Structure 1
Amino acid sequence: KEKVQAETFIKLVLLYNYRVERIKQFTNVTMGASTKEADIIVYNDDTCTKPHIVIECKNETISELEFLQAINQASAYAYALSGTIKYIWITTKSKNEYFLIDKDNNIKQSIPDIPQFGINKIQKYKYVYGGREQNQEAKKDKIKQQFFELETISEKDLINRFKQAHNSLWEGGKLDPSEAFDELDKLIFCKIWDEKIPRQKGEPYNFQIFKEPLPKNATKEQLLDIENKQTNDLFNRIITLYNQGKKEDPEVFKDNIRLSPQKVKTVVTYLESINLNITDLDSKGKAFETFMGSYFRGDFGQFFTPRNIVKFIVNSLPIDYKDKVLDTSCGSGGFLLYALNKIRLKADVFYKKDEIKHYKYWHDFASNNLFGIEISEKIARTAKMNMILHEAGHTNVISSDGLLQDIEIQKNSGNKEFKYNHFDYIITNPPFGSNVKQSEKPYLENYILGHKNINWLDPSKNECRDNQSTEILFIEQCYNFLKVGGILAIVLPDGILTNSSLQYVRNNIENWFRIIAIVSMPQTAFSPTGAGVKSSVMFLRKWNIQTTDKYKLIKQTLQEQIKKESCLKRKNRVSARSIEQPYPRDAFSN
């Protein structure tokens, strides 16, 4: 709270032009029989006898209920103070609300900002394109309020705003956490879209609260109508932004915003002042990743690979800007974004950051070479939002069953790039523990690993299994998608490497791939996501078909040789026992 209060004091001086002598902190306010302490009071005179603005500062982590209590507290101070006070400002730094106080008529109206020093008329909105340049012109006019441009904030502050906005929707269980996360994604999408709309200097942003004019001597009923109109107008602007964005980018969100106008307004209060588009790429990306990580460690932990593991795997691979990279179970998009970061770091080596070639180097890779498949439509949207915040191409992230044949995936997504023998790298952490049943997924019969031998004397005779583990099928699917010579980095449970019943899986891995390395991970590697399965990372390079056939032939030859030698040894042992222990001559005599 003290930090918020100190920063608010500085804003009053530097941004609102109030003189330090007219700003008092920790001022006693008599309220009936008790005395309380107001955080900041701004006065209209040098003797500090005419209070003008009351400011209540709170910790950034307070809940919506606590914020409402802070509004009531500031209002009580305003009514208790004598004189000409007109405004209150409640701030947690990440959230700000401002009110006009009419003490004579007992009216409190929400407004977009407090007035700057010497200003009598507040504008309808606070944030405009080119706000700083507009301020220079506004300074010439002592009557008009100065506008502000959207601000960039730190990674820590952005994480906090995302969390607070999410919590305001969740409200301790009133809305399902996953649904709250999904709805927040939609509003972040609207925010980014609004910032990208071309506008002239001085034109307001739509993703902010507008003030409706207050008629003189307005009744409480009229004020309530104005507040509702203000909220509904904001809601309609957000819906318009959302529909515009959906029209231009229909693959990100398909369903409508399912929040009430008041809920939308609450989220807007957290995000309206920031500029997500020009906030440092690393900061906003890490902020969303961190916020998302705390969420994915809950009910959706299976969709989240710990970032230290992601970083290790990607850093181990020699990915180049020309390579096509696929994640067949992309979840929140971590592998793809770390692959992008690898290319961005290469761009830093080759070009200056402000050069067009620098942007083109990594952005072309992001738009054309990163591909992801995610079976959950909700999580796929999250991956797309994650990539949008990283300014990465997201059109190649699709929602589909990653085990379908490539033709079916192309048909469902409309993206022809998802084809077999097409990718240079596949980096993936497939879902563990689920089974694909042949009765539910007919495509099981298309997989070699979806079949089993029914005649041990004749390996060519087999039939489709009743079910098979998803992680096993994904090994074969990744083989299908890889180019010859392409590299697969896949997280697998150790059972695939050690269980005797899965020898047939290991045999096929040897037939299809050169095993580059197997890295065993500790038991606790996935504990942040709630998973405790001991796992390893396999790095595999795809053989060409000739090498695969050669390995199969060598194995078959060795197996036949071993069978013959085994039979010969058994025959010799039987013969030896017959010689050593012959039956007596009268063994069958009466």
Structure 2
Amino acid sequence: MAYEENLDRFKRENEAALQGGIIALDEDEKNVIYVALNKKYRLSDPEEFVRASAYVSLVLDYGYSQEQIDIEFTVPHRVPNIHSDIVVFKDKAKKTPYIVVECKREEASQGELDQAVEQGFGYANSLKADFMWMTSGIRNDYFKVSGFGGAERVENRIADLPKEGKEEASRAKYTKGGKDGFELEIVEENELTRKFKQAHDALWAGGKRNPSEAFDELDKLIFCKIWDERTNRKPGEPYDFQVFTDDKGDDLKRRIQALYHKGREKDPEVFKEDIRLSNSELQTVVGYLAGTDLGKTDLDSKGRAFETFMTGFFRGEFGQYFTPRNIVKFIVDALPINHDSVVIDTSCGSGGFLLHALDKVRREADKMAEDGYFELASVQHHKHWHDFAENNLFGIEISEGIARTAKMNMIIHDDGHTNVIAFDGLESIDTMRDRTKNQGFKPNSFDYIITNPPFGAKVKLNEKRYLEDYDLGCKDVDWIDAKLKNITVKQKKVGEKDFIRRTLLDKARDQQTTEVLFIEQCHRFLKPGGYMAMVIPDSILTNSSMQYVRDWIEEHWRIVSVVSLPQFAFAANGAGVKSSVLFLRKHDDATTIAIQRAKEKAQDDIHARKDGGKALEKLIKEKAAKLKKGDATIQQIDEELVAKLGALDAQGNLTTDAKRKLKAEADKAKKAHEATEAYQQWKAATSEEYNERIATLRETLNDEFLAEVKAKVNDYEIFMAIAEDIGYDATGRPTGANELDTVSRELSRFIQHVESGVPRPFA
């Protein structure tokens, strides 16, 4: 953080001390002056910010007089001379050291902080002080030194320092309303980000456990912290999520586990594993978070803090689960989501799409408050967006750890986590509902799907039998080939008389990519008329091998928009696949049936024509006959064989053995000729000639088919856009501009026209 930012925050946090003359800044604000001590130190040292704040807290929060405190106090029996950062004395004469304070910079590593604890103990023992406080501003550890063994660091940890006039520290530092203690503190975004990061680093411990495990454990503790804040308490009653002075053995662990088990009762599908931390690890992490009021800290600040920490971690460990904010915002802004909408992300990852949908509805509530429908921050205002969060917002994530992170991300943003489940998003929806006991997961029940499914992963039939239940999990067949081979496609009944055709062979593929299957699964989730916005690889839009997917989309969806993203859109997350955002609106069954019937009739008509399918069949047969007949030499051999057989027959000498011998000689001659380069060139030239004629005719017939379908099926506009500057470059650095903002506004207007039924919105 820049010096100026640190200084501004320092002045805000210590405003009372600056106005009261406890500390001062020199004229150019480069040094802090401890007024009573007449000492001045440079603020270019980041530890000085921490020390000055600790000094102020000892005076204002703990009640010690400035005459009882010294800075840079010499520690005896140390060679060379060593000075303690702060010493609080029992007397104003400064003869009896009482509290030793060891300060470290806010960005200090876990190793530096642990070393600082040892250093502080060394100073406290040399000075025969009773208490020691190690602080980095972010982490605070309190210990009683006297009366304990020199190596004790767990049993002698205490909740807080004793205040002036008290011989012992209070049992708990943080209490409801701050009665007989301190109330939880609202912190700024940067400080909260550092708390999250340093708590994670303490759990990671330089490799003691892998980063994802550390992240998972931190998630659990953040949840416990929030749950603790929401527990009803009387004024003065201590919070459970903190170290108590009288903690013995597993006391802290039992309190944390009790909070966690309450959470697991509410979210059994995600919160499955116990907290797996030692007492000392719990003490350390709880120490980072205990004093912070996550509930009252500004929503945007705590949300961005968690996202900043989470994003940095996800890029290294779980990049595939992270969609850049600019792309998420573009998709959500383009769609007319409101508090009545039922929204799902079928591959929700860390919950970015769900959070932006929730934020959109929260802003809707703010606008309604401005328009006078209710008071801002009133019960009605809260209910407007919170009901949406609790009842209308759904997410599926296959990874339990990531699903838990998504829930935590939602909780930190003031909830919306209730309907996030850890499950395979491609499983049967009925299976999903039955196993999770969440009745909200039903087919044909969602208004909007906003998602970025994993690309390129393969679902294999021998591992996931549900593949055969997907249309797009079955082998495709070109309509011309289907007619030529008389292949009958499977049909699915949707009413008493109506059938939806499966335009694919009723034979499962060995495997299919996840992004293709999610297109069909999302169709199952949506109501008719519902919208899906999905990030897809461009191969679905352009590769000839993906034509069957495009055909299926055409029959089941109204294509609303295709917005092309630059190659580097996901480069910062380790993905270089060229992608686009596809916006689709689900057809009702009647429309799908009508499109399929129109296609089927067009195919039947074209295939039945003499200059259509019949001509193609004739050409294919002609090719086979010509290749079978062979070139001039082969024909000559056959003619000579016929002549010889005729002559022998006329003479009455055509015996079976003679006939067999002549045919064998002819076959040998033909095989010898077929091995020659001349014959191979003829065969290749003949095949190429017919193949070109067949391909040309197939292309003509397919063009006629497409033209006929276009004439019979309602034509419509598609919103197309290419975004080149999306607000960041290939390294993730902001560019200062974002074309997606403009595209989003225009696309939103286009969708309004689509909803109004206007066939040519921009005509």
Q: TM-score, normalised by structure 2?
A: 0.68
* Partners of 2:358 and 2:416 within 8 A in 1: no
Amino acid at match of 2:251: D
Taking a change above 3 Å as real, the CA distance of residues 550 and 322 of structure 1, as seen in their structure-2 partners, is same
- State the partner residue of 2:169: 122
Amino acid at match of 2:298: D
Q: For 1:439 and 1:114, how far apart are their aligned partners in 2?
A: 63
1:85 is aligned to 2:113: no
- State the partner residue of 2:350: 332
Match of 1:404 among 416, 427, 430: 427
Question: Which whole-Å deviations, capped at 9, do the CAs of 1:108-142 have from their partners, x for residues lacking one?
Answer: 732221222233232222111121xx2xxxxxxxx
> 1:436 is paired with a residue of what secondary structure?
strand
* Partners of 2:331 and 2:533 within 8 A in 1: yes
Question: Which whole-Å deviations, capped at 9, do the CAs of 1:229-278 have from their partners, x for residues lacking one?
Answer: 63421112222222233234434412222222222222111111112222
Amino acid at match of 1:485: G
Amino acid at match of 1:111: I
The equivalences for 1:3-82 within 5 A come to 3-81=49-127
Match of 2:442 among 402, 412, 419: 419
Q: For 1:103 and 1:238, how far apart are their aligned partners in 2?
A: 28
- State the partner residue of 2:321: 303
Q: For 1:32 and 1:393, how far apart are their aligned partners in 2?
A: 57
> 1:339 is paired with a residue of what secondary structure?
helix
> 1:153 is paired with a residue of what secondary structure?
coil
1:257 is aligned to 2:285: no
Amino acid at match of 2:448: Y
Q: For 2:148 and 2:508, how far apart are their aligned partners in 1?
A: 83
> 1:173 is paired with a residue of what secondary structure?
coil
- State the partner residue of 2:488: 460
Q: For 2:529 and 2:216, how far apart are their aligned partners in 1?
A: 39
Q: For 1:494 and 1:130, how far apart are their aligned partners in 2?
A: 56
- State the partner residue of 1:478: 522
Question: Which whole-Å deviations, capped at 9, do the CAs of 1:166-223 have from their partners, x for residues lacking one?
Answer: 11111121112221111112222222222222222211112111113xxxxxxxxxxx
The equivalences for 1:22-421 within 5 A come to 22-81=68-127, 85-102=129-146, 109-131=156-178, 134=179, 146-212=180-246, 230-351=248-369, 352-421=375-444
- State the partner residue of 1:447: 470
* Partners of 1:325 and 1:425 within 8 A in 2: yes
Amino acid at match of 1:389: I
After TM superposition, the structure 1 stretch with the greater mean CA deviation from structure 2, 116-125 or 170-179, is: 116-125
After TM superposition, the structure 1 stretch with the greater mean CA deviation from structure 2, 448-457 or 349-358, is: 448-457
Shift of residue 162, structure 1, vs aligned partner: 1.2
Shift of residue 63, structure 1, vs aligned partner: 2.7
Q: For 1:22 and 1:123, how far apart are their aligned partners in 2?
A: 21
Shift of residue 510, structure 1, vs aligned partner: 1.5
- State the partner residue of 2:691: none
* Partners of 1:400 and 1:412 within 8 A in 2: no
Amino acid at match of 1:186: K
Q: For 2:547 and 2:150, how far apart are their aligned partners in 1?
A: 80
After TM superposition, the structure 1 stretch with the greater mean CA deviation from structure 2, 230-239 or 315-324, is: 230-239
> 1:192 is paired with a residue of what secondary structure?
helix
Sequence identity (%): 51
Shift of residue 355, structure 1, vs aligned partner: 0.9
Q: For 2:148 and 2:361, how far apart are their aligned partners in 1?
A: 63
Q: For 2:199 and 2:148, how far apart are their aligned partners in 1?
A: 35
- State the partner residue of 2:692: none
> 2:533 is paired with a residue of what secondary structure?
strand
Q: For 2:129 and 2:450, how far apart are their aligned partners in 1?
A: 62
* Partners of 2:269 and 2:422 within 8 A in 1: no
Question: Which whole-Å deviations, capped at 9, do the CAs of 1:330-385 have from their partners, x for residues lacking one?
Answer: 11111111100000011111123321111000000001100111122222222122
After TM superposition, the structure 1 stretch with the greater mean CA deviation from structure 2, 362-371 or 25-34, is: 25-34
Taking a change above 3 Å as real, the CA distance of residues 429 and 448 of structure 1, as seen in their structure-2 partners, is same
Shift of residue 426, structure 1, vs aligned partner: 0.4
Taking a change above 3 Å as real, the CA distance of residues 278 and 517 of structure 1, as seen in their structure-2 partners, is same
- State the partner residue of 1:435: 458
Q: For 1:306 and 1:208, how far apart are their aligned partners in 2?
A: 35
After TM superposition, the structure 1 stretch with the greater mean CA deviation from structure 2, 120-129 or 72-81, is: 72-81
After TM superposition, the structure 1 stretch with the greater mean CA deviation from structure 2, 392-401 or 468-477, is: 392-401
> 2:395 is paired with a residue of what secondary structure?
strand
1:504 is aligned to 2:548: yes
Amino acid at match of 2:173: K
1:520 is aligned to 2:520: no
Q: For 1:178 and 1:33, how far apart are their aligned partners in 2?
A: 44
> 1:126 is paired with a residue of what secondary structure?
coil
After TM superposition, the structure 1 stretch with the greater mean CA deviation from structure 2, 297-306 or 423-432, is: 297-306
Consecutive unaligned residues in structure 1, runs of 5 or more: 135-145, 213-228, 575-586
Shift of residue 48, structure 1, vs aligned partner: 4.2
> 2:102 is paired with a residue of what secondary structure?
strand
Q: For 2:614 and 2:65, how far apart are their aligned partners in 1?
A: 103
Q: For 2:332 and 2:487, how far apart are their aligned partners in 1?
A: 38
Taking a change above 3 Å as real, the CA distance of residues 498 and 15 of structure 1, as seen in their structure-2 partners, is same
Q: For 1:428 and 1:554, how far apart are their aligned partners in 2?
A: 32
Q: For 2:606 and 2:83, how far apart are their aligned partners in 1?
A: 90
* Partners of 1:53 and 1:85 within 8 A in 2: yes
> 1:230 is paired with a residue of what secondary structure?
coil
Q: For 2:425 and 2:456, how far apart are their aligned partners in 1?
A: 16
Q: For 2:253 and 2:204, how far apart are their aligned partners in 1?
A: 19
After TM superposition, the structure 1 stretch with the greater mean CA deviation from structure 2, 361-370 or 23-32, is: 23-32
Higher Rg: 2
Taking a change above 3 Å as real, the CA distance of residues 49 and 570 of structure 1, as seen in their structure-2 partners, is same
Taking a change above 3 Å as real, the CA distance of residues 406 and 570 of structure 1, as seen in their structure-2 partners, is closer
- State the partner residue of 1:137: none
Q: For 1:566 and 1:107, how far apart are their aligned partners in 2?
A: 93
After TM superposition, the structure 1 stretch with the greater mean CA deviation from structure 2, 481-490 or 180-189, is: 180-189
1:487 is aligned to 2:531: yes
> 2:81 is paired with a residue of what secondary structure?
strand
Amino acid at match of 1:124: R
1:2 is aligned to 2:40: no
RMSD: 2.7
Q: For 1:249 and 1:104, how far apart are their aligned partners in 2?
A: 42
Taking a change above 3 Å as real, the CA distance of residues 88 and 425 of structure 1, as seen in their structure-2 partners, is same
* Partners of 1:251 and 1:395 within 8 A in 2: no
Taking a change above 3 Å as real, the CA distance of residues 480 and 522 of structure 1, as seen in their structure-2 partners, is same
> 2:82 is paired with a residue of what secondary structure?
strand
* Partners of 2:159 and 2:244 within 8 A in 1: yes
Q: For 1:154 and 1:504, how far apart are their aligned partners in 2?
A: 53
Q: For 2:438 and 2:397, how far apart are their aligned partners in 1?
A: 14
Taking a change above 3 Å as real, the CA distance of residues 517 and 113 of structure 1, as seen in their structure-2 partners, is same
